[in-house]
Amino acid sequence: MGRKSATIQGCFRHKRAPRGGRAAKSRPFRARSAAGETGRAVVPVGGGGPADACLLKNILHNFGDDDCVRVLRACRAALRPGGRVPVPALVLPEAGGGAGTQPDAETAVALSDVEMMVLTAGRERTLAEYRALFARAGLALPPGAPPALPGLPHHYMLEGTDGTEHGTREARDGAAVRR
């Protein structure tokens, strides 16, 4: 397994699946990558039914707000109830920076934002702007600060959900309806 796959697997270690009324055991990690055009329908690979997650790495910052919402809605439509849309992203500091912000990190963030404006229709965003995009797509980011990505200043793991917790009766019933 490659380094990226191992990192992704680490993000999903908490997932549990009940088996035959016994104590919950860890589900084996299942991941497949799928190429496609951004913003089109997202179809789970291999006909395995609704997806547990749709990872969007280096995608959203390439697009304007309306296109980002379109991409996030396509991912949401492919998810099973309780599914997630993890988005590792550079998140701009809110206006005023912060006491712990390193000047070189702020420069890197600003240069990345300029690069997005010049090369694409996209841009880097603040956490509040990401929350608004996810909300427009019918997804929610958990309250509070998202987990930081180690060694990458201003990079966080944003994780959109439809608000349904994994393993709840609502999620199981919703998955049965989708089958």
- Beta-strand pair 25-26/16-17: antiparallel
Contact status, residue 85 vs residue 139, Cβ threshold 8 Å: yes
Quick one: which of 47, 49, 30, 77 has its CA closest to 179? 49
Kindly state the tokens that stand for 87: 């988005």
At residue 11, the 3 state secondary structure works out as: helix
H/E stretch holding 172 reads: helix 169-178
Catalytic residue status for 61: yes
Please tell me whether residue 109 adopts helix, strand or coil conformation: helix
Contact between 32 and 24 (Cβ < 8 Å): no
Helices (H), 30-168: 65-78, 103-119, 127-136
Name the active-site residue from 14, 61, 154, 155: 61
**Three-class secondary structure of residue 159 per DSSP:** strand
- Report the distance separating Cα 144 and Cα 137, nearest Å: 20
Just list the catalytic residues: 61
